[in-house]
Amino acid sequence: MNEEQEGPPVFGSWRRIYWAVGLYLVAVIVLFSVFTRVFNR
């Protein structure tokens, strides 16, 4: 296989992994916002 086209070990394609990482970031920011709202006075 062409080295450039070597796929990732999970999610099937690099594009899907990038989307997963982007969604993860959104989830982290939402989680931190909730954390701040609940605990910070």
Partner 1 sequence: MRPLDWVVLAVSLAGIVLYGLWRGRGSDTTQKYLLAGKTMPWYAMALSIMATQASAITFISTTGQSYVDGMRFVQFYFGLPLAMIIIAAYVAPRFHASGVYTAYEYLERRFDARTRALVSVIFLIQRGLAVGVALSAPALVLTVIMGWPSEVTTLLMGLTVIGYTVSGGIAAVTWTDFVQMLVMTLGLVAALVTALWLSPVDLGGALQVAGAAGRLNPAVWTFDLNDRYNVWSGVIGGMFLALAYFGCDQSQVQRYLTGKSIAQAKLSLLFNAVAKIPMQFFILFIGAMVFVFFTFTKPPVVFDPGVQAKAEQTAGYEAVEREFNVAWNARRAAAEALPGTEAEFKAAQKAMDVARAKAATLAGHEGLNDTNYIFLSFVTRYMPVGVVGLIMAAIFAAAMSTISAEINSLATVSVIDVYRRHLRKEADDRHYLRASRWATGFWGMYAVVTAQYATNLGSLIEAVNMLGSLFYGGLLGVFGLAFFYPKVTGRGAFYGVLLGEAAIFATRFGTEITFLWFNVIGCLVVIVAGVMISALERRGTAAAE
Q: What is the greatest pairwise CA distance in the chain?
A: 56
Question: From the CB of 34, what's the least distance to partner 1, in Å?
Answer: 8
Question: From the CB of 17, what's the least distance to partner 1, in Å?
Answer: 6
Question: From the CB of 12, what's the least distance to partner 1, in Å?
Answer: 13
Contact 13, 7 (CB under 8 A): yes
Interatomic CA distance for residues 26 and 41, integer angstroms: 24
Binding residues for partner 1, how many (CB under 8 A)?
A: 22
Is 12 near partner 1 (CB under 8 A)? no
